[in-house]
């Protein structure tokens, strides 16, 4: 996680006023405004692939898919952040009339970066777990084929990991099945030849 911009505490109101005028994105955690780092080509490609897969699957359902421009607030922790992809099913709840801060995501997806993966798996997931609406959390590696899938079961979370390019990930909270080959389409990552799907080989080059 990046260093706070200034060594003083801000209120949520100060953060939102600042953020809505800023040209770059910032998280807000424990009174600190923290600049978010830029992403790589692989990061952008994986995020786009996921949006392109989920969009048509959810088109005729009462769900909305948002990219990284949608801010999410973890009300219980006073945190604001920008997930790589967010899905909300049912009635959307926003913080105010600006309709730019979502309160009730159903699914959050983060594409891991070397500088943020420890944070995304640890402290950030701790924050996300405080969202009563959140049912699933998906972490996608960008330097190898690996998807970590957390599903809420009451007060606990179960984890399933998948590193087989020919496999699929089922997202029960939104009723969608996502092939790993589609997640990594046009992304150059090391692939185990024993588990790779030959039909997807041509699609995973840069």
pLDDT in tens, 145-200: 999 999 999 989 999 999 999 999 999 999 999 999 999 999 988 665 554 554 44
pLDDT at res. 89: 97
Tokens of 38: 């830029």
- C-alpha 144/C-alpha 183 separation (Å) is 12
Residue 100 burial (CB count, 10 A): 14
pLDDT tens per residue across all 206 residues of the chain: 455 555 678 999 999 999 999 999 999 998 999 998 777 899 999 999 999 999 999 999 999 999 999 999 999 999 999 999 999 999 999 999 999 999 999 999 999 988 778 888 889 999 999 999 999 999 999 999 999 999 999 989 999 999 999 999 999 999 999 999 999 999 988 665 554 554 444 445 43
The whole model's pTM is what? 0.88
pLDDT at res. 103: 98
Q: State whether 45 and 31 are in the same domain.
A: no
CATH number, domain of 181, equals 3.90.1570.10
Q: State whether 47 and 143 are in the same domain.
A: yes
Over the Cα atoms of the chain, what is R_g?
17
pLDDT at res. 182: 98
Number of domains in the chain: 2
Element containing residue 99 per DSSP (H, E): none
Q: State whether 70 and 85 are in the same domain.
A: yes
Q: Whose structure tokens read 């039909």?
A: 199
Tokens of 17: 């006023």
Give the range of the structural domain holding residue 22, as residue numbers without chain letter: 1-36
pLDDT at res. 205: 46
Q: State whether 15 and 76 are in the same domain.
A: no
pLDDT at res. 206: 38
Q: State whether 77 and 154 are in the same domain.
A: yes
For 7, which DSSP code?
S
Q: State whether 91 and 64 are in the same domain.
A: yes
Per the CB < 8 A criterion, the answer to whether 72 and 83 are in contact is: yes
pLDDT at res. 28: 96
Q: State whether 71 and 111 are in the same domain.
A: yes
Residue 112, C-beta contacts closer than 8 angstroms, at least 6 positions apart = 120, 121, 139, 140, 141, 142
Q: State whether 60 and 161 are in the same domain.
A: yes
Count of residues making up the chain: 206
Q: State whether 12 and 80 are in the same domain.
A: no
- C-alpha 142/C-alpha 46 separation (Å) is 7
Q: State whether 30 and 88 are in the same domain.
A: no
Q: State whether 120 and 174 are in the same domain.
A: yes
Q: State whether 96 and 2 are in the same domain.
A: no
pLDDT at res. 5: 55
């Amino acid at each position: 996680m990046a260093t706070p911009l200034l060594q003083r505490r801000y209120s949520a109101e100060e953060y939102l006023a600042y953020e809505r005028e800023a040209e770059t994105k910032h998280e807000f955690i424990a009174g600190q405004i923290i600049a978010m780092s830029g992403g790589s080509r692989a990061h952008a490609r994986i995020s786009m692939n996921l949006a392109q897969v989920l969009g048509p699957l959810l088109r005729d359902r009462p769900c909305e898919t948002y990219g990284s421009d949608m801010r999410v607030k973890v009300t219980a922790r006073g945190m604001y952040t920008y997930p790589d992809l967010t899905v909300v099913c049912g009635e959307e709840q926003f913080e105010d009339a600006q309709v730019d801060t979502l309160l009730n995501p159903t699914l959050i997806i983060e594409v891991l970066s070397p500088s943020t993966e420890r944070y995304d798996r640890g402290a950030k997931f701790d924050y996300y777990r405080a969202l009563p609406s959140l049912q699933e959390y998906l972490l996608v590696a960008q330097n190898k084929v690996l998807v970590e899938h957390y599903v809420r079961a009451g007060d606990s979370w179960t984890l399933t990991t998948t590193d087989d390019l020919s496999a699929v990930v089922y997202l029960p909270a939104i009723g969608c099945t996502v092939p790993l080959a589609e997640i990594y389409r046009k992304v150059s990552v090391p692939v185990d030849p024993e588990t790779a799907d030959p039909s997807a080989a041509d699609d995973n080059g840069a």
